[in-house]
Amino acid sequence: MKIWRNISYLAVAAAILLTSCTSLPASATLREDLNEVNSKISELNDQIRGYEKEAKALSEQADSISKQIAILQNEQVKLKKQIELKQAEHDQIVLEIEAVQKRINDNYEIIGYVIAQYYYNDDISTIERIASADNFSAFVDEEAQLSSVSDTLSQIVEENKALKESLIEKKKRAERILADLDAQKRQLAATEQEQQGLLAETKNNESRYNSLKKKASDERKELEEQQQSILRELAKRYSASNVTAGDPSKGGYPYSGQCPAASINGTQYGDQWGMYICECVSYAAWKVYQNYGYMPYWGGRGNASQWPSNARAAGYTVSNVPRARSVGISMSGPYGHAVWIEAVSGNRVYISQYNYANEATNWLPGDYSEQWMDAGAFVYIYF
């Protein structure tokens, strides 16, 4: 049914420029099924992106925690070496204390002997000690030696006592340092254990999001299979086996006689491939069918900017290399623009197109034109 719109020519022309290269959704039940599947796929894509974002963030968090654990482990290795060195120092001090104590004990025995000699001499009179000596000089020497030995031993004992006290203080300091190092070691071990738990939890959450992503991806794959099944059925219905070529001077487009009026006055309707007539995508679909005998049905998702992803999903090659008898897609604008590549010459392509306002169309949209273009303006779909 034709729909006439009571709006001005310029307003309609402006609207067409803004909405050029859009497609007409498929109709009836299949269209509704396709739209529902497309909507679910879109929702799943959003979910998958969310899962990927969360999984990536958790992966980065896990990496950060792993680095922290590595730092903690390195600190523990350093502490272990410090503890070993301090323990060796402590053990050496203990040995030195034992040696000093032995010297003190030995000196005490010698002092005891000297004291005993003094006691012995106290029981004998001086005259008797002189008489028992070989001579008076020997007596004097013996008395002096006993006195000297006693003084020396007393001095050594005092020095050893002071050394022992110093060593005991060193031992206490070593024990305090050992206790502090051991406390640090326990704290590091507890922190590492806490970080290991956090790492395990983070990796578990990352795994959970990856599982959710996989589940959503599997669901999306099933929906995409349904999508392709519906598209195949639509392609059978709209196979365009009875399409008759139109004006050869306008690319043979079957609807050339209705353009640009249909695009301007609102009488557009869908072609056999689900595209609005007199628009770039409808003409591109016709050229594919004219040259290859088949055009995939992309109704409802046929904006020119969508064609590259549609083509990839359907197994067609999308390339930056221009090729004659391919479809060129410009991604500029809100909907993109589709053209047919007639010829290639170096870095330029000769194109035919519909719905592009230029000098050849008297600056009106919705009509046929040809021109040379820079090849870099398009990506190319090989059918």
- The enclosing domain of 355 has a CATH number of 3.90.1720.10
* Both structure tokens of 192: 């590492």
Residues 199 and 273 in one domain: no
Residues 221 and 173 in one domain: yes
Residues 286 and 208 in one domain: no
Q: Please give the model's pTM, rounded to 2 decimal places.
A: 0.46
pLDDT score at 321: 97
Domain count of the fold of the chain: 2
pLDDT score at 261: 73
Residues 194 and 72 in one domain: yes
> Which residue in 156, 142, 144, 143 sits closest to 110, CA to CA?
156
Count CB atoms within 10 A of the CB of residue 219. 16
pLDDT score at 231: 63
> Which residue in 287, 262, 282 sits closest to 365, CA to CA?
262
Count CB atoms within 10 A of the CB of residue 220. 19
Of the candidates 235, 252, 282, which is a domain's last residue? 235
Residues 155 and 286 in one domain: no
- The enclosing domain of 168 has a CATH number of 1.10.287
pLDDT score at 312: 92
Q: Is residue 26 part of a domain?
A: no
Q: In what order do the strands lie in the sheet with 317-319?
A: 317-319, 379-382, 327-330, 337-345, 348-354, 368-374
Residues 276 and 348 in one domain: yes
pLDDT score at 116: 61
Residues 142 and 192 in one domain: yes
Residues of the chain falling short of pLDDT 50: 1-20, 22-27
Q: Which domain holds residue 289?
A: 244-382
Q: Are the C-beta atoms of 338 and 22 separated by less than 8 Å?
A: no
pLDDT score at 331: 94
**What does the alpha-carbon distance between residue 355 and residue 248 come to, in Å, rounded to a whole number?**
17
